[in-house]
Structure 1
Amino acid sequence: MKTLSLFIAVCIASTCYSQLKKLPIKKTADLHAFFHYTGKGERIISGHRGSYLKGYPENAIETFAYVLKNTPAFFEIDPRLTKDSVIVLLHDATLDRTTTGKGKLSDYTWEEVKQLRLKDRDGNITPYRIPTLQEAIDWARGKTVLNLDKKDVPMQMIADLLRKNKADHFMMVTVHNAKQAKFYFNDNPERMMSAFVKTEDALKEYEAAGIPWKNMIAYIGSENKPANKVMFDLLHARGVMCMISAAPVYDKLATVQERAAAYRDIFAQGADILESDLPVEVAEAMKQKH
């Protein structure tokens, strides 16, 4: 009986990770191939900050596991520095919205941050705490891909951590311009990037900087509009998948049905990757008939 109880406890603590819907990525070549546009109708889901639901806070490993129990996905996450320079996952510079803490993260040491608990979408306190980026890397290996947004962590610090962990085959970094992309490319010519490419001028800047398109997916904005077709066509011709984020607009629609219709239309209009606060809803929407 004790052995059975221990097994159940371990399974619960690990969120039964063997049941997760993992991405088929084991080496850098797999990462590049997974995010290469082929025109065969690939549809990939990205969890914006993981997800943000009742009982599941954003930027939490337990939330990533919940999503992967329901659908394959990768995750955009937010690295920030504590007072003693530990990299943790937190979107805001302040603790108030998503944790039981108050004030700036940068005023707290990691030992202090560990005592805080995360809040869910409705402001309810959960059992979960803020994870370190190192913990997220250790958890994600062999399961999914993490996309590191650009916050207050120096790029060299991020690059050093990825190299130390030999993690570039399941990690990517968000870059807002060609200069940032050039830094990461020079540091590792195989590094994958989620690049802001919202205009033709931006596209030309990446090409002028000599960044290979095989190293990038392209974030083109949060609006599903006809004008996006120009960027879709330009980027698809270069083998680049295009991502729309539903988080600021379409995730906020009032009903599940409205959101589902919006998600389906984003893919129908030409996007290959949909980033959402509600990745499980996106997966369900894609199963439904129009």
Structure 2
Amino acid sequence: MTLEFRVLLVLAPILLPLRSGISQDAAPATTPLHRIAPQSPAELRELFRYTGTPLPIVSAHRGGAGPGYPENCIATFEHTLTQTFSILEIDPRMTKDGHVVLHHDATLERTTTGSGRLADKTLAELKQLRLKDSEGNVTEFQIPTLDEVLRWAKGKTVLVLDQKDVPLETRVGKISEHGAEAYAMMIVGNFKDVAACHRINGDIMMEVMIPSRAKVEAFDGIGVPWQNVIAFLGHVPPTDESLYEAVHKKGASTMIGTSRNLDRQFHWRVRDEADSLRRDYQAILGRGADVIETDLPRDVGRLLYGPPLTSPQGRRGLRIE
């Protein structure tokens, strides 16, 4: 498939009149959600199997914080899903008393009303704190536990659990305990851990860093099916564009991150350069990326895929309701 045809197929019909002040207000309780709801591990694998057809999904880095909405917060997750189809990248960490909560930083100051190391606090102490939004304003929201988020996510979206300080076995155990293999994936940092995860629970999908053709070949040797992974190729598009084709030939989809580049330009370009900004995001998909991981899922999802957006035909498990 040529670059030009892929871009046209995925995005050419969409021209959204953007402006710099896209509303971040909380939606009414009756607002439909863009649900990603595979019913089994097999359906989750099928969702991310490469087919060459558009996959109108973004990945929300830390859930997609914004004004009024903190990162790694259930209210933020819900708000993201009112705007776009999005899987949610989240950050589990261990408390002093052995619970798993969601929080990106090792320390509390930037995103909460607390201070010090999260690992030195009990769950009860952490629940006394309040989360700050993307602008540093204190909100009413608390740090959620991973258990709370796994219960919330079923039927709504797919979670992608980063590692931070939580052992691989603990993350696998939480997914297994909740029977969440159909809607929770893991970011796994090295091939040894990929093989270990698959050995413990072969139904768990993983997001795996595969930044080169050499890594594609090396992955073939670890005994884990390609259908169990989505390949994260990097935070910038790879210079070797044949890498996309190499992964696609294995039947897996690819992901590129924009939080360190295009996302940082978004708000100053969207008013006067909306068309060229859209083309820059489209170009990432046109090269062969299937999913963009972004700090701005609501903005980027709407830029690329709507509104209005209807439930995609032929994509089992995606619906708006």
TM-score by length of 1: 0.90
Is the Cα contact below 8 Å between 2:57 and 2:84 reproduced in 1? no
The match for 2:79 among 60, 66, 74 is 66
Sort the Cα spacing of 1:49 and 1:259 in 2 relative to 1 into closer, same or farther, 3 A. farther
Is the Cα contact below 8 Å between 1:264 and 1:285 reproduced in 2? no
| Secondary structure in structure 2 of the residue aligned to 1:240 | coil
Larger relative contact order (Cα-Cα within 8 Å, sequence gap ≥ 6): 2
The match for 1:182 among 179, 191, 195 is 195
Runs in 1 of length 4+ with deviation above 4 angstroms?
Answer: none
1:231 offset after TM fit, Å? 1.2
In the alignment, structure 2 segments of 5+ residues that lack a partner are 1-25, 307-321
Q: Which has the higher helix share?
A: 1
1:14 offset after TM fit, Å? 11
Name the residue aligned to 1:6: none
Sort the Cα spacing of 1:115 and 1:172 in 2 relative to 1 into closer, same or farther, 3 A. same
Sort the Cα spacing of 1:241 and 1:119 in 2 relative to 1 into closer, same or farther, 3 A. same
Sort the Cα spacing of 1:15 and 1:142 in 2 relative to 1 into closer, same or farther, 3 A. farther
After TM superposition, list the pairs within 5 Å mapping 1:207-286 onto structure 2: 207-225=220-238, 227-253=239-265, 254-256=268-270, 257=274, 259-286=277-304
Q: In structure 1, how many angstroms separate the alpha carbons of the residues matched to 2:203 and 2:304?
A: 32
Name the residue aligned to 1:40: 53
| Secondary structure in structure 2 of the residue aligned to 1:153 | coil
CA deviation string 1:256-290 (max 9, x = no partner)? 236534322211221100011111111221147xx
1:18 offset after TM fit, Å? 7.1
Determine what percentage of the aligned residue pairs are the same residue: 39
Name the residue aligned to 2:66: 53
CA deviation string 1:105-149 (max 9, x = no partner)? 011110000011111111111111110000000000111100001
Sort the Cα spacing of 1:126 and 1:34 in 2 relative to 1 into closer, same or farther, 3 A. same
Q: In structure 2, how many angstroms separate the alpha carbons of the residues matched to 1:30 and 1:18?
A: 26
Is the Cα contact below 8 Å between 1:260 and 1:281 reproduced in 2? no
Sort the Cα spacing of 1:131 and 1:286 in 2 relative to 1 into closer, same or farther, 3 A. same
| Secondary structure in structure 2 of the residue aligned to 1:97 | coil
Q: In structure 2, how many angstroms separate the alpha carbons of the residues matched to 1:155 and 1:17?
A: 37
1:165 offset after TM fit, Å? 0.9
Find out whether 1:196 has 2:209 as its counterpart. yes
Is the Cα contact below 8 Å between 2:37 and 2:158 reproduced in 1? no
Is the Cα contact below 8 Å between 1:149 and 1:173 reproduced in 2? yes
Sort the Cα spacing of 1:17 and 1:196 in 2 relative to 1 into closer, same or farther, 3 A. farther
CA deviation string 1:26-62 (max 9, x = no partner)? 1111101111000113242111110021111110000
1:181 offset after TM fit, Å? 0.4
Sort the Cα spacing of 1:228 and 1:49 in 2 relative to 1 into closer, same or farther, 3 A. farther
Is the Cα contact below 8 Å between 1:55 and 1:126 reproduced in 2? yes
Sort the Cα spacing of 1:261 and 1:122 in 2 relative to 1 into closer, same or farther, 3 A. farther
Query: Aligned AA for 2:244?
Result: F
1:99 offset after TM fit, Å? 0.9
Sort the Cα spacing of 1:30 and 1:246 in 2 relative to 1 into closer, same or farther, 3 A. same
| Secondary structure in structure 2 of the residue aligned to 1:189 | coil
Is the Cα contact below 8 Å between 1:177 and 1:202 reproduced in 2? no
